[in-house]
Structure 1
């Protein structure tokens, strides 16, 4: 959780993570309906519309009529949007490379494998990870971690 929290705080100062996810979804799925974007990311229709409007104003997406449904439209990525995704990925990779620069290759490989497993498990379980655990036990990841300096001082 600390990794996620620190990463989110640092990144969100520079860019809107939800907007990047919307743009990434458009990039991955090609011309796509706003409702499909909302469903994939878990946004409301209003939030999706707000992000798409901002991305369109920035020239990162374009809209076109949906040939199969005149009530909606399709969103596609522009060259500017593709460049934005590439820049974001490169910036994230550069920061991550600095963070793990002194790690041995074996540790990097292990971290990559475990993060991949975590992402796959998260995708399989969706929101069920938020289910309550038996009283007093707490989540397994929390029980297995090392206490912080503050927690050690409290005990």
Structure 2
């Protein structure tokens, strides 16, 4: 918990984690509808819209018409957005390298394997959690749904 807490505190001072999560998702999974981004990341529609507007304004994403649904659009990562993701990953790798600089090579290799397994298990847990997306929307609506 200490590792997560300290990492989050240091990262959140420098970058907007939601922005990075959106960019990472769009980069990894290719053009997505805003509702799919919101569902995947557990965001409200309004929060997703705000972030996408800012990302588009900053040249990090581009939007295009959705050929399957004229009521919405697709979001695609732009070159500047990919550069931001790449820089974030590189910065994280640099910090990891500093933290484990005095570890033997075999310990670093073991840690990388275990972190990979942890990430995979976390993803499977999320996917298996009854198949439903995490609750989104205003708190009052989420509370109301739990009561029903």
Q: Distance in 2 between matches of 1:84 and 1:39?
A: 23
Q: Which residue of 2 aligns with 1:2?
A: 2
Scaled by the length of structure 1, the TM-score of the pair is: 0.78
Q: Distance in 2 between matches of 1:127 and 1:29?
A: 16
Gaps of 5+ in 2: 130-148
Gaps of 5+ in 1: 130-155
Scaled by the length of structure 2, the TM-score of the pair is: 0.82
How far the C-alpha of 1:32 sits from its partner, in A, is: 1.0
Moved >4 Å (runs of 4+): none
Greater alpha carbon shift after TM alignment, 85-94 vs 7-16: 85-94
CA RMSD across the alignment: 1.6
Greater alpha carbon shift after TM alignment, 38-47 vs 12-21: 38-47
Give the alignment of 1:1-155 within 5 angstroms.
1-126=1-126
Larger C-alpha radius of gyration, 1 or 2?
A: 1
Higher RCO (Cα < 8 Å, 6 or more apart): 2
Q: Distance in 2 between matches of 1:20 and 1:50?
A: 14
CA shift in 2, pair 1:110/1:81, >3 Å: same
SS at match of 1:13: helix
Q: Distance in 1 between matches of 2:66 and 2:126?
A: 30
How far the C-alpha of 1:9 sits from its partner, in A, is: 0.4
SS at match of 1:4: helix
